[in-house]
Amino acid sequence: MKALIQRVSHASVSVDGKVIGDIGAGLLIFVCAMAGDDAAKSAALAAKIAKLRIFKDDAGKMNRSLLDTGGSALIISQFTLAADTSRGNRPGFSAAASPAEGRALYEQFISDISALGIQTATGSFGADMQVTLLNDGPVTLMLDI
């Protein structure tokens, strides 16, 4: 699984002009299931993200995790993280999981993050979404499990 995470002061996602997910300080997580991914990879990715020390401590150093800060997670499905741009100008997405597998792993990932005690908000799988965020730092990381 792949994830692009951004430390945010706040973030929200809208579908058809209506906000469906909103968080304060925490992480905006764009997640993509790849062909061959399974529930174990989802759990490993959730644990890694929850424990990443990318939030400032009292000395201003990145030394605290999402678990340490009590921050929230806004989780958005993002199959375009599977893009292959090695040939031509049109990205290919054949490395992504099928839509049914992708939806199941997206839902599993949400469950895995929530099970760690992190408050979550979500987008809508497969929908045309508009994401608004205030990036904090900025801190943006790409993870591949």
| Catalytic residue positions, numbered | 78-80
Output the CA–CA distances (angstroms, integers) from residue 91 to 26, 44, 94, 110, in the order listed. 30, 28, 10, 27
12: part of which helix (H) or strand (E)? strand 2-15
Q: Are 131 and 28 in contact (CB under 8 A)?
A: yes
Residue 115 is encoded by which pair of tokens? 């099970």
Rounded Cα distance, 73 and 32, in Å: 15
Distance of CA 140 to the CA centre of its chain: 11
Q: Are 125 and 111 in contact (CB under 8 A)?
A: no
